[in-house]
Amino acid sequence: MTAPIRENLSGLDLRAEIDRLRKERNAVILAHYYQKPEIQDLADFVGDSLELSRKAAETDADVIAFCGVKFMAETAKILSPEKIVVLPDMDAGCSLEDSCPPEQFKRFREAHPDHIALTYINCSTEVKALSDIIVTSSSAETIISQIPPEQKIIFGPDRHLGGYMNRKFGRDMLLWPGVCIVHEAFSETELLKLKAQYPDAPVAAHPECPPHIVDHSDYVGSTSGILQFAKSFDGDTLIVATEPHIIHQMQLAMPDKNFIGAPGADGNCSCNICPYMALNTMEKLYLALRDLTPRIEMDEELRLGAKRSLDRMLEMASGTVGKGDLGRPA
Ligand code: 13P
Ligand code: SF4
């Protein structure tokens, strides 16, 4: 359970305090596109999972304040072990990570000894250490295209990203049955109603969406890929089938265009807001920089095991400039 904040911080200018602590601590603030706008606006860098991993690996700051979810902050620690990595709320998890307990994943691997394990970065450090190569949504295509077609692959934990890749490359990777609760909540019926209302508006979707959403999309890609699509599409309205906080960056870049979040089941719910990402707040970021806690710590042997599969991704994705371009649906 997330611990309540027991101090009264109401008299503080949080933005100014965060700026002061950032300098004092020689800290860098990294934020994912699904963070609240006020956090995106003060971050030193906002990006997708691949870009954030790269930033974490190359920064010379002493402290990384990671405004995202736990697997992302853990990735930063794996790649930059000498740095202090803080996550404003340690309960900021991920349903994909939860779907894939390391013990079960280990047994699944053992049952398929002739398969390599290609694993989506949305997983625990333990599962990374049990994997051969990590992928993100922006590096998956580049990496899969380098693996010989005859090589058998286990893909986990996101069955929708894995299924999309299977369809796109004509492969039959064995899929772990995990899903993202946020992308799973988009409604096909409501999306079709919205498309009828805006017949000229393209749909841009994240590959964590199920096929009944991806199949109605004009563009499928990572958060950074969707953002690039938003900056370049012809027309004035775009329907966005991913977590709606990314629309903040679209509005900043293209204030005259209209960005509409794809609807959930009742057409008007907030079920597409990631409840884990939403746990990070300005107050918790301030406290994390002030107290240097909650801090990511991990066993060194485990870290080295996970680093091996992450390094493999960074090498194989070296030509991928966080573009996340998975193109049109297969
Ligand atoms: P990206 O790598 O596309 O930013 O995806 C991260 C994520 O958790 C999407 O739900
Ligand atoms: Fe995990 Fe889904 Fe939230 Fe991304 S949006 S962090 S996949 S629960």
Q: What is the 3-state secondary structure (H, E, C) of 98-123?
A: HCCCHHHHHHHHHCCCCEEEEEECCC
Q: Which atom of ligand 2 is nearest to the CA of 276?
A: 3
pLDDT(3) > 90: no
Q: How far, in Å, CA of 44 to CA of 18, rounded?
A: 12
80 lines ligand 1 (CB under 6 A): no
Q: Which atom of ligand 2 is nearest to the CA of 94?
A: 1
User: How does residue 274 score in pLDDT terms, banded at 50, 70 and 90?
Assistant: very high
pLDDT at 320: 55
pLDDT at 186: 95
Q: Which atom of ligand 1 is nearest to the CA of 223?
A: 3
Closest by CA position to 155, among listed 163, 145, 167? 163
300-316 vs 70-79: helix axis angle to the nearest 10?
90
Q: Which atom of ligand 1 is nearest to the CA of 48?
A: 4
* Ligand 1 centroid, distance to 27 Cα (angstroms): 23
pLDDT at 192: 97
pLDDT at 325: 40
Tell me the chain's radius of gyration from C-alpha atoms: 19
pLDDT(258) > 60: yes
Contact 279, 91 (CB under 8 A): yes
Ligand 2, pocket residues at CB < 6 Å: 69, 94-96, 122, 180-182, 208, 243, 274, 276-277
Nearest-CA residue for ligand 2 atom 3 is 274
Concatenated DSSP letters of 51-76: HHHHHHHH---SEEEEES-HHHHHHH
Average pLDDT over residues 241-257: 97
Q: Which atom of ligand 2 is nearest to the CA of 95?
A: 8
pLDDT(327) > 70: no
pLDDT(42) > 60: yes
Contact 228, 193 (CB under 8 A): no
For the beta sheet containing 237-241, the strands, ordered from the edge strand earlier in sequence to the opposite edge, are: 219-220, 203-205, 237-241, 258-261
pLDDT at 21: 98
User: How does residue 313 score in pLDDT terms, banded at 50, 70 and 90?
Assistant: very high
Q: Which helix (H) or strand (E) holds 229?
A: helix 223-232
The region that residue 307 occupies, defined by phi over 0 for left and psi between -120 and 50 for alpha, beta otherwise, is: alpha
Pocket test for ligand 1, best of 121, 136, 227 (most atoms within 8 A of CB): 136
CATH homologous superfamily for the domain 96-179+303-321? NadA-like (3.40.50.10800)
309 lines ligand 1 (CB under 6 A): no
pLDDT at 163: 98
pLDDT(324) > 60: no
In terms of pLDDT, which residue wins out, 8 or 103? 103
Average pLDDT over residues 68-83: 96
pLDDT(234) > 80: yes
The CATH 3.40.50.10800 domain(s) of the chain lie at: 14-92+278-297, 96-179+303-321, 183-273
Q: Which of 173-187, 252-266, 310-324 has the lowest mean pLDDT?
A: 310-324
pLDDT at 270: 72
Q: Any idea which ligand is nearest the CA of 136?
A: 1
CATH label, 183-273, candidates 3.40.50.300, 3.40.50.1100, 3.20.20.80, 3.40.50.10800: 3.40.50.10800
Closest by CA position to 25, among listed 85, 91, 90? 85
Pocket test for ligand 1, best of 49, 52, 53, 271 (most atoms within 8 A of CB): 49
Q: Which of 109-113, 254-258, 262-266, 310-314 has the lowest mean pLDDT?
A: 262-266
For the stretch 159-196, pLDDT in tens is 999 999 999 999 999 999 999 999 999 999 999 999 99
Q: Which atom of ligand 2 is nearest to the CA of 97?
A: 1
Q: Any idea which ligand is nearest the CA of 184?
A: 2
Q: What does the mean pLDDT of the chain come to? A: 94
Q: Any idea which ligand is nearest the CA of 75?
A: 1
Closest by CA position to 92, among listed 111, 65, 110? 65
Q: What CATH number belongs to 14-92+278-297?
A: 3.40.50.10800
| Interacting residues of 191 by C-beta distance below 8 A, sequence separation 6+ | 203, 213, 216, 239, 241, 262, 263
pLDDT(326) > 80: no
Average pLDDT over residues 36-52: 95
Closest by CA position to 224, among listed 198, 199, 262, 250? 250
Average pLDDT over residues 17-23: 98
| Interacting residues of 102 by C-beta distance below 8 A, sequence separation 6+ | 124, 126, 127, 130
pTM of the model: 0.94
